[in-house]
Structure 1
């Protein structure tokens, strides 16, 4: 068997390889960016199975850093600080963002009720061993009227002050717990997107 390659065919092959060499990094970046966007959506679903937060709020705390051809890395960042426990209040005017408080709301007769997990019932929050008396509401300064659940410490805290603001789990903590569950299907999704992007680039897109 004898194969002949003329000069024009060789030039076409070289041009295709050169285009593909550049296209591979473009396809990789595109597939990473599609995957990280899908990852935020899927992570939000899994996070909301663990903690009782609405989708818009979870999305607002998940920051995407997109990949480029020079830096083939995409990531999601989440706050490491715990979420205000008031975010899990059963009173939507306290847990949500639609109400801006000028002064703290009154303590309900049944006590301050919170529900952290989607399943199960709400619980009355009685504080912890660091505070004396019952917890109460305060309006946090510099937060456009955000209400927090706080208590008066029996001793001055390590950072000073007698007031302790209560926090629940951090979004970073919950994200770490769920990301292993979605890692494998997302790896498959990225591979599929990479193949599609390579095909698109070879077709001139």
Structure 2
């Protein structure tokens, strides 16, 4: 998974202490409320991160959602995270087409059109995945895949690094609101 720095969410420690006191008589009351609030906040933040990522690059929502993995909090471990793989994204994940003259056009940004890449062509890996490549070396004696460069676009982890700062403050507010809601629900059920 990615080595990017996580979203830092600050919480109101006095409010957390009050909730802990209110739920002291329930078994695992405060940890249960906190883990539920953290997990809810992570799911909503993942959705918002996906929207922000798709404002910067033209990827499908399902693909971005698949790449944003949520590490859920538990009663024993009140840590949660949104993680993304650090590997690049093949240009074939972006809208692309082949023109009549053989050039390939790819649209990475959501605005604007496809950018032509003269000399680019499609290749297929052994696992069946199609990619866009260019030849970097010419001449006899080169094997089937020698002298080729597979082309990649911005990965979800690169774009997530850009948008995570914008998500910190709203996520902190959402976490505190949800924590109050979860504590209230636990108190109602007793």
TM-score category (smaller protein): 0.7 to 0.9
Contact 2:137 2:148 in 1 (8 A): no
Q: 1:58 to 1:15 in 2, by over 3 A?
A: closer
Please, which runs of 5 or more residues in structure 2 have no aligned partner?
1-20, 139-144
Structure 1: 5+ residue runs without aligned partners? Answer: 1-13, 92-105, 127-133
Shift of 1:162: 1.9
Correspondence for 1:147 among 118, 130, 139:
130
Instruction: Tell me if 1:123 matches 2:136.
Output: no
Q: Deviations over 1:97-137 (max 9, x none)?
A: xxxxxxxxx764261001100011211023xxxxxxx2211
| Residue of 137, 143, 167 corresponding to 1:182 | 167
Quick one: higher RCO (CA 8 Å, sep 6+), 1 or 2? 2
Of structures 1 and 2, the larger Rg is shown by: 1
Deviation digits for residues 143-190 of structure 1, max 9, x if unmatched?
xx32100122228xxxx9422111011110000101111111111001
Instruction: Indicate which of 17, 30, 36 corresponds to 2:24.
Output: 17
| Aligned position for 1:98 | none
1:50 paired to 2:56: yes
SS state at 1:71 partner? coil
Counterparts of residues 61-72 of structure 1 (less than 5 Å): 61-72=67-78
Corresponding residue number in structure 2 for 1:80: 86
- Alignment RMSD, CA only? 2.3
Which residue pairs with 2:11 in the alignment? none
2:106–2:114: 8 Å Cα contact kept in structure 1? Answer: yes
> Which residue pairs with 2:4 in the alignment?
none
**TM-score for the superposition, normalised by structure 2:** 0.79
1:15, CA displacement in angstroms? 11
TM-score by length of 1: 0.73
CA shift digits 1:35-59 (9 cap, x unpaired):
0000110000000000001111111
